Amino acid sequence: MSSNQLLIKSLALASKYHVQQKRKSDGSPYINHLIEVAALLTDIARIDDDDELCAAILHDILEDTGVTTEEVYKTCGQRVLELVEALSDNKSLCLKERREETLRLLPTKSNSVKRIKLADLCSNAAAIPSGWTVERQTEYFLWLDQVAEICKVSSPLLYKEYLRRKADYTAK
């Protein structure tokens, strides 16, 4: 399968399963976030690895939709599935436990996983829901900072972008 075919298949799968979802920050289609994460990898981190870009597009699909691991595997292959699984939260845990698990497990993950996570943080840092209290925003950014610190080794340029976006948001 060509790289273009793989990327189109991952976009089609993401749009099929995320079709009804909207971003909490502005109500835009959720697929925009997934495309932005992949674009950050290509534009800032200069990643051209097809599997990594497909996993970026699908990074939330297992935890936020009803897709099966089998469908991800059949559509995009083993490596994409492994990356997506490595990025997926265990939704049976409460938010605090999921965040603790991320901080515990992320240091052992591959640079590809860390880069996708860092690109995701960049996107999320610029899209905080307006209804969040200052306390919730502060708590969220403290956690993002911890995750970004773990991931910065995978792409210093993406880490710099995260810091820029955080500063832009907090300056508002």
Q: Catalogue the active-site residues.
A: 63-64
Tokens 């599935």 sit on residue: 81
- Quick one: angle between helices 134-151 and 156-170, nearest 10? 170
DSSP 8-state code for residue 102: H
For residue 160, the tally of other CB atoms under 10 A from its CB is: 13
122 contacts 43 by C-beta, under 8 angstroms = no
